[in-house]
Chain A
Amino acid sequence: MTTDTLPHETLARPRAAELAAEFGLKPDEFERVLAILGREPSLTELGIFSVMWSEHCSYKSSRVWLRELPTKAPWVIHGPGENAGVIAIGDGLAAIFKMESHNHPSFIEPYQGAATGVGGILRDVFTMGARPVANLNALRFGSPENARTRRILDGVVRGIGGYGNCVGVPTVGGEVNFHPAYDGNPLVNAMTVGIAPADRIFLSAAAGVGNPVVYVGSKTGRDGIHGATMASAEFAADEGDEKRPTVQVGDPFTEKLLIEACLELMATDAIVAIQDMGAAGLTSSSVEMAGKGGVGIVLDLDHVPQRETGMTAYEMMLSESQERMLMILRPGAEEQARAIFEKWELDFAVVGHLTDTGMIEVRHKGRTEAIIPLAPLSDQAPLYRRPTEETPRQSLLDAATVPDPVGLGAALETLIASPDLASRAWIWDQYDSTVGGQTVKRPGGADAAVVKLEGLRRALAITTDCTPRYCVADPEQGGAQAVAEAWRNITAVGARPLAITDNMNFGNPERPRIMGQFAGCVRGMAEACRALDFPVVSGNVSLYNETDGRAILPTPAIGGVGVLEDAAQAVGLALAPGLDLVLVGETRGHLGQSLWLREIAGREEGAPPPVDLQAERRNGDFVRAAILSGAVTACHDVSDGGLLVAVAEMAMASGTGAVLLASPERVPAHGWWFGEDQARYVVAVADGAAFLARAAAAGVPARHLGRTGGQELTLAGVFSISVERLRAANAAWLPGLMKA
């Protein structure tokens, strides 16, 4: 093979060092670049190294910890390392899913940041051969009193809706929290779940020397250059505006065409390997595909479809223009593939071929712009075991020592209208949740979204969960709780939890306290995943979520997926009259880090409720079996806000009230009703006595809570509040905030 062995032009040493620092490479990382190349890099090469070695692409601070997470189970087909995780769900089908952050872009330009976040995660899923069937999103915003929060929330919701509604994938669930710690760093984590035949999964490892490298989708422009590097740095206040040019612009219509064209081509045998051009665009897709396949790759940028004139090799390699994919085709399949993409009015171009050199060679206008050995680019990527510092443990808070300043009824009314518990309908009402015609449980209807598989009885249950205030108080307990709550929410609809994706959002990992939070959360997650047979199959890490040295709360958002053999067995929240309410699980009255403590007592302190994974598993398995036996009419897990909030949410979902029995004397009343003890569910059943007997036989703690009926929620002698009044208070907060 006659090729150049050097780029036509390299940078002089001082200039190279200066640019390396500007691109985010540390001095020792730059030295490593020089050692690998044995010379100074060209500008394009330096760009490639800096994005591939950015935190965003290389996971250099997190990889050593992420290895601790369990990733295997008999139903796992592909764990972390592919574009998304793949699990078997029965009927010969696979669910393909992942959650990914678009935090930094969403702060700078909320609409496009969130929209392209949805677009990117959709591509990660359909690139593996799946038709996307559900989107969810986990959002964290700053203080509601902060005017900027409203602007960001409005833009993010419009962006998610604008993209998801147009591509025709229903947005079926998610979660929203508010806390001042997110003032300068909102979190936008988007999750997509898709379905494919289990024996038709497309992977990214390139193979076949001489095979054509094909570019499809939108044209390449100058947008998003160095987006991955931006996503790996802290902000200074008011820096956001200057960084706007690194935010990409999304086009959901093109994405829709790309989904249809890719799925049409995937029905043939033309594709050897495929990957979307996400962060670091053409660079990461070509480097990762060739690297995984152990081959070399030549790219001729003259053939790259370009939106602007005069683009340089550096700009094309680093552009993060959206809605683009890179594929390796079988030889001779080019024309068949071209016809499909032309039918869908998308660009199609052969931009290179695979080689046996083990190098990536980038050519432009007849000149070599980059020539880098692929193995060291990934093998010698920086890997840091950064110093960690443990978060000091806080002591358990005894409810008996915390005075109740307002009484139960007033606390309930305040809590259900508080930022973290108020109705999210204002948000869901802007997302198309029914397109596809398979949405069995819509947002707010059940603890997990339930989406049926077209033409089958089988359904998926999907949820996103994390309680950051627990994570900051005790990272290990918080990490375990996030996984346990996802498992519980899937269980509460009657589904069998199968696997999770994680989106690890943290501050600056170079600070030991933050790295300690990360390590602690991973430890807790790993323990919960093992105890609950709930492995991690995909994930994403977002670090440096800090502004002016103020970090976000540690937020390991968990996206969980489970399966129901028959969608008709799914249960929701809504109460019907004439049923017994039963509490499953043990209540000690843990008020530490509870919403009651924060919203009513004005304190954020104490240890979070301990997570007992054995009890979690035992109680959950019992509840799921009861649901599948048909004994349960409605079910809700007890989480934020505690037991009384859980019952109120079930009442508000239908309008049917309940009369509750007095709490046991061994627990202070506010601890009983508002404590956030884990591993608990409220179920509505026709025959409470039979249910309690069944629980006793299974060794599961359960207690009769009351009876449903009427239009009030009543605790005899303490309070009686109309469900309509609760609903009005619950519904009013968010629209009120957004009108302000």
Chain B
Amino acid sequence: MGALKAGIVVFPGTNRERDMAIALERATGRRPAMLWHRDAELPAGLDLVVLPGGFSHGDYLRTGAMAAHSPIMRAVAAHAGRGGLTLGVCNGFQILCEAGLLPGALLRNATLRFLSMDCLMRVERTDTAFTAHYQRGQIIRAPMAHGDGNYVADEAVLDRLEGEGLVAFRYVNDKGEAEPAAALNGAARYIAGIFSENRRILGLMPHPEDLVDPLMGGTDGLPLFESLASAA
């Protein structure tokens, strides 16, 4: 068990903060701190800042657009700028993109419907603080639950993400092949999650935090949090 010190940012409409806290505590043995969106500073000595899933400000405008301008986001950007570990899941991924900490944007699902189901993702690299406990090319299951998971970026950005190995997870079928039926949200190049250039920021749409207990149907999400625990 590592002693990773984590903080979870809570916006008024965040709704997966408790799921995230359970997963982090399971992997690290330490209960993460809950951070209020109007705080301008982070607690000292945080190893990891998490932006969890939900509907931060109702998301009636554009998902994550208002949250990206919350007081705490300046502190989160500073933390990330210092090379601090930063994880954004679902709405958190959308906020990281809106805040410019990750490239691209997440548009309405190609199906034009909310998608709630398990998806399969391929782990694209394992030499990162988020994925060290997975095997390269491993296919993992994770629940997804989003209306806006259609990852887009211009071709140059997508080429750069591919070229620099910044695609973290890709939607695949059970044979490990990326194909349209595996990415109903329509994400460009089947991208489920991406790293920042220094690979200290991860944004992804599916919810590994909801699959960390055999009782809930599996533990495919746990190695992500165990990776973080041993990165501290």
Contacts and interface: CB of A to CB of B under 8 A. Distances in A.
Contacts of B207: 434
B72 to A, nearest CB: 15
A567 interface: yes
Interface in B187-232: 207, 209-210, 212-213, 215-217
Contact of A437 (B23, B60, B114, B117): B23
B205 to A, nearest CB: 13
Contact of A433 (B22, B59, B116, B215): B116
B16 A435 contact: yes
B133 interface: no
Q: Quick one: which of B13, B207, B217 has the most chain A CB within 10 A?
A: B13
Nearest to B213: A437
Nearest to A251: B58
B209 A430 contact: no
A435 B19 contact: yes
Contact of B215 (A257, A434, A436, A452): A452
Contact of B145 (A158, A257, A432, A454): A432
A250 B23 CA distance: 32
B165 interface: no
Nearest to B57: A253
A344 B12 contact: yes
A681 B59 CA distance: 45
A439 B218 CA distance: 12
A162 B16 CA distance: 16
A253 B143 contact: no
Contacts of B60: 253
Given A161-B114, A430-B113, A166 B145 contact: no
A344 B113 CA distance: 29
B114 A168 contact: no
Contact of A435 (B12, B59, B145, B147): B145
Nearest to A455: B22
Contacts of B115: 429-430
Contacts, number: 90
B116 A438 contact: no
A722 interface: no
Interface in B43-87: 53-55, 57-60
Given A429-B116, A439-B216, A434 B143 contact: yes
A433 B116 CA distance: 7
A344 B117 CA distance: 31
A131 B111 CA distance: 32
Nearest to B17: A168
B18 interface: yes
Q: Quick one: which of B18, B57, B114, B217 has the most chain A CB within 10 A?
A: B114
Contacts of A253: 12-13, 55, 57-60
B126 interface: no
A345 B117 CA distance: 33
Interface string A253-278: 11011001000000000000000000
Interface string B111-127: 00111110000000000
Contacts of B13: 166, 253, 256-257
Interface string A82-102: 000000000000000000000
Q: Quick one: which of A165, A251, A435, A438 has the most chain B CB within 10 A?
A: A435
A429 B117 contact: yes
Given A434-B145, A435-B19, A568 B209 contact: no
A659 B59 CA distance: 51
A431 B58 CA distance: 17
B19 A166 contact: no
A473 interface: no
A167 interface: yes
A42 B44 CA distance: 63
B173 interface: no
Contacts of B113: 158, 429-430
A428 interface: yes
A290 interface: no
Contacts of A257: 12-13
Interface in A426-466: 428-440, 442, 452, 454
A381 B87 CA distance: 58
Contacts of A435: 15-16, 19, 53, 145, 210
B215 A440 contact: yes
Contacts of A344: 12
Nearest to B142: A434
Interface in A146-162: 158, 161-162
Contacts of B215: 440, 452, 567-568
A454 B116 contact: no
A251 B59 CA distance: 11
28 contacts: A165-B55, A165-B116, A165-B147, A166-B58, A253-B13, A256-B12, A256-B55, A257-B13, A428-B116, A429-B113, A430-B114, A432-B145, A434-B145, A434-B207, A434-B210, A434-B216, A435-B15, A435-B16, A435-B19, A435-B145, A436-B18, A437-B16, A437-B18, A437-B209, A440-B215, A452-B216, A567-B215, A568-B215
Given A257-B13, A454-B18, 14 more contacts: A165-B55, A166-B55, A168-B16, A168-B55, A253-B59, A254-B58, A256-B12, A256-B13, A256-B15, A430-B116, A435-B15, A437-B18, A437-B19, A454-B22
Interface of B: 12-13, 15-16, 18-19, 22-23, 53-55, 57-60, 113-117, 143, 145, 147, 207, 209-210, 212-213, 215-217
- 7 nearest CB pairs, A to B: A168-B15, A253-B58, A437-B19, A432-B145, A434-B143, A166-B55, A434-B210
